[in-house]
Amino acid sequence: MFGTDRTEEQKLSPKVTDEGNMLRDITLGQYYPADSVIHKLDPRVKITGTFLYIISLFLVRDIWGYAVALAFLASMIFISKVPVSYMVRGLKGILFILLFTAAFNIFFTPGEVIWSFWKIHATREGLRIAIRMVIRLIFLVMGTSIMTLTTTPNQLTDGLEKVLRPLRHIGVPVHEVAMMMSIALSFIPILIEELDKIMKAQSARGADFESKKLSVRMKSMVPVLVPLFVSAFRRAGDLANAMEARCYHGGEGRTRMKPLRYVKRDLLAYLILLIYLALVILAGILF
Amino acid sequence: MSIIADHLSYIYSAGTAYEVKALNDVSFKIEDGEYVGLLGHTGSGKSTLVQVLDGLLKASEGTVYVDGEDIFDKDYPLKSLRSKVGIVFQYPEYQLFEADVFSDVCFGPANLGLERSEVELRAYEALKQVGLRDEAFYQSPFDLSGGEKRRVAIAGVLAMKPKVLILDEPTAGLDPAGRKWILELVARLRKENGMTIILVSHSMDDLAENAERLMVMDKGHIAMDGRPKEVFRYHKELFEMGLDIPEVVKVLYMLRENGVNVNTDAITVREAAEEIRKAIRPA
C-alpha cells in the first residue's frame, strides 16, 4: 500500500473518490494516467525539473526568454499526453490571484499614463509588468501541473524523500515525514470512500445534507463526522498494529521493494533540462 | 410494494479517464412480498444497483418505479421513499453515532418528521424486534459487542418501517450464530410484517436456504433471474462469473460423477439429504 506499486495506486486513486454522486467533484491529487515518457520519468527528475523551471522563469527578462519558456512548456505538455484542458483547469484556482496581480500592477506602477479614470491611472510600465507577472504565474502553475498530473502522489513522496535525503544530516526526519505523507495520501481515498458510505447510510435514514438552511446542514454533519472519526481511529490502530507486526522500526537500514533508479531516459531528461536552462540564459544575454 | 427497474444504467465518473459503466440496461420487476437474493462477484454492480433502487444514486439512464411512482421524477419527494425502502448497508454498525443506543435508533424516524412519542415507540419496537437486551438501550453503542452493534444498526433502519428492506451482505463478519440470527430475523420480518426483501449476499448457502428468487449480476447487467433451483443448474456459467453454487449441490454433482445416480436439483441441506437417501436406498 505504501510502496510504489503503480497498479495498486491507480486502483486506489481517483476512481474511488468518484464512488457516488455526493463526492463526485472531489478529485484527489490530479494524477492523469497516460502512457508517456514524462509519466515514466523518475520522480526525482520531475521534481528537479519543475524546480529548475520555476527558477528559470525568474531569470527570464524579455520576450525571447518567455518564448523559450513557452516552447519548453508546450513541448512538455505535448509529450506528456495530458489534455491541455486539464492543465488549464489548474489555472482556475489562481484566477483571482491573476486578476489581483494584474490590476495591482497596472494601476499602482508609476509611469506614463495611458488611461485614467477619476483617481485611477493605468500606466504603460504597469501594463508591461502586469503582463509579465501574469505570464510568469501561468507558466509557473502549468509547469507544476505537469509534475502533479504525470506523477502519482506516492511516487512524488518517494522522489521527495530521495531528493531531501541530505537534510537528514542536519536532523530533519526525512524518512518519517515521507512515511507520514505517504500514509496520509493512501488514506485520503479510503477515508473519502468511507465518508461517502456513511453519508449514504445516513441519508438512507433520512438525514438531510442538501438543506438550504446552514443550521440544518451543520447539524447533519454530526451523524457523519462521529462515525468517520471512529473509523479513522480504528484504521489508524489497525495500521499501527500491522506495521508493528512486520517489525517496522523507522527508516534506519530500510531497503525498498522498488528502489528509484535512474535509467537512460532520466539522464537524457537532465541533459534536456540543462540545455533549456542554457537557452534561457543565452536568450537573456544575446537579446 | 412493487419495484420496477426500467432500463437502468449508471456510469461512474462519466466523461473522465476513469469512466466505468457499473449498470448497463438493467430491467426487472420485484413483486410485493418477494424474497429476492441478489448475487454477483465484487464489482458486478450489485451495490450500485441497490443504491439506485433507494434513490441514493441517480440513474444515468432509465428509472425506478416504486409503487408505480417514478422516484427520479423531480417532483417525487425522495424523503417519502425513505419510509418505503430501507437499506441496511454492509457493516452497518459503522454508522452508529449517538451517545446512546436508543437515540441512535430514533434518528431515522425523527428525520421522517414524526411526533416524538411515535418516534420513541418505533425505536422501542425496533429494538425489541432485533432482540436487544433491555440494559443495552441506554448504553453507548460503542460499548456493545460487534453482533449487538449490528442489531442496533438494523433496528435503526427498521424503525423507519420500510415496506421494502434491502440488506447488503448483512451476515459479513458474523459468527455462525449471528448469521443464523440475521437470516431468521429477515425471514420473520417478511412473514410477520409482509416486507419485500432484497438480500445481497456472497453466500450461496444462505441464498439457497432463504431466497425464492435469485438475480445474478455480471458486468453491470442481470445475467440470470429465476428460482434458486433453476439458477444453480447453471453451475458452469456461475463459475465463469466468479461465483459458486451451494456446497451441498457440489456434493450432489460429485456423487453423480462417482456413479451415484442422484437427483442434483436439491439445493438445501435438507433436500439434498433426502435425495441422497433416495439414491442409495430406493424405497
Burial bucket for residue A35 (CB in 10 Å: 0-12, 13-18, 19+)? exposed
Burial of A8 (0-12, 13-18, 19+ CB in 10 A): middle
- The average confidence (pLDDT) of chain B is 90
Q: Give the structural domain span for B279.
A: 246-283
| Block residue for cell numbers 412519542 | B117
Give the total number of structural domains in chain B. 1
Cell numbers 530521495 correspond to: A162
Is residue A235 within 8 A of residue A187, CB to CB? The reply is yes
Alpha helix stretches (DSSP H) within A43-123: 43-59, 63-80, 84-92, 95-108
pLDDT at position A185 is: 79
Q: Determine what percent of chain B is predicted with pLDDT higher than 90.
A: 57
Across the interface, whether the CB atoms of A230 and B142 are under 8 A apart is answered: yes
Residues A39 and A145 in one domain: yes
Q: Count structural domains, chain A.
A: 2
Q: Is B154 among the domain residues?
A: no
Q: Are A227 and B94 in contact (CB < 8 Å)?
A: yes
Does A133 share its domain with A197?
no
What DSSP designation does A187 have?
A: H
CA distance B173 to A83: 44
Fill in the DSSP letter of residue B44. Answer: S
Judging contacts by C-beta atoms under 8 Å, the chain B residues touching residue A15 are 12-13, 18, 20
Instruction: Specify if A165 maps to a domain.
Output: no
**For A18-37, what is the mean pLDDT?**
59
Are A210 and A228 found together in one domain? yes
Nearest CA in chain B to A216: B111
- pLDDT exceeds cutoff 80 at A50: yes
Q: Which of B42, B65, B31 is nearest to B213 (CA)?
A: B31
Q: What is the interface size between A and B, counted as CB pairs within 8 Å? A: 76
Q: Does A20 have pLDDT greater than 50? A: no
Mean pLDDT value of segment B29-50: 92
Q: What is the mean pLDDT of residues B140-158?
A: 92
Residue of A24, A27, A205, A225 for testing the chain B interface, max B β-carbons within 10 Å: A205
* Residue A264 domain-assigned (yes or no): yes
Strand ranges for chain B from DSSP E: 3-12, 20-30, 35-39, 61-66, 69-70, 85-88, 164-168, 196-200, 213-218, 221-226
Is A214 inside any structural domain? yes
- For residues A223 and A182, membership in a common domain is answered with yes
Contact A198 B94 (CB under 8 A): yes
Average the pLDDT over B154-172 and give the result.
93
Structural domain includes residue B74: no
Task: Quickly list DSSP for A60-78.
Answer: --SHHHHHHHHHHHHHHHH
CB B107 within 8 A of CB B123: no
What per-residue confidence (pLDDT) applies to A29? 58
The interface pTM score, or ipTM, of the predicted complex is 0.86
Among the partner residues B18, B89, B97, nearest to A15 by beta-carbon distance = B18
**Quick one: closest CA in A to B113, which residue?**
A206
Does residue A20 sit in the same domain as residue A89?
no
Which pLDDT value is given to residue B10? Answer: 93
Q: Do A42 and A85 share a domain, yes or no? A: yes
- pLDDT of A5 strictly over 60: no
Residue B13 lies in a domain: no
Tell me, yes or no, whether A2 and A43 share the same domain.
no
Residues of A in contact with B56 (CB under 8 A): 20, 200, 203-204
Q: Is residue B252 part of a domain?
A: yes
Residue B110 lies in a domain: no
Span A81-92, average pLDDT: 82
- Residues A263, A125 within the same domain: yes
* In the predicted structure, residue A8 carries a pLDDT above the cut 60: no
User: From the CA of A264, how many Å to the nearest CA of chain B?
Assistant: 30
Looking at chain A, which residue has its C-alpha nearest residue B96? A227
How are beta strands B35-39 and B61-66 bridged, if at all?
unpaired
Interface of A with B (CB under 8 A): 14-15, 18-21, 24, 32-33, 194, 197-198, 200-208, 222-224, 226-227, 230-231
- All residues of chain B having their beta carbon less than 8 Å from the beta carbon of residue A21 are 57-58
Q: pTM (2 decimals)?
A: 0.73
Domain check: are A116 and A12 in the same one? no
Residue A21 pLDDT greater than 50, yes or no: no
CA distance linking residue A265 with residue A243, whole number of Å: 35
Q: What is the mean pLDDT of chain A?
A: 81
Question: Would you state the pLDDT for residue A2?
Answer: 39
pLDDT in tens, A208-236: 887 778 887 788 888 999 999 999 999 99
Say whether pLDDT at A202 is over 50.
Answer: yes
pLDDT at position B265 is: 85
| Phi, psi for residue A135 in degrees, rounded to 5 | -60, -45
- Interval A136-145: pLDDT, tens: 999 998 888 8
In a domain, B78, yes or no: no
Task: Examine residue B273 and state whether it is found in any structural domain, yes or no.
Answer: yes
Q: State the residue range of the domain holding A210.
A: 1-31+174-256
Q: Are A5 and A93 members of one domain?
A: no
Q: What is the mean pLDDT of residues B205-215?
A: 91
CA–CA distance from B98 to each of A143, B129, B271 (Å)?
48, 20, 45
B238/B215 Cα distance (integer angstroms): 12
**Residues A134 and A265 grouped into a single domain:** yes
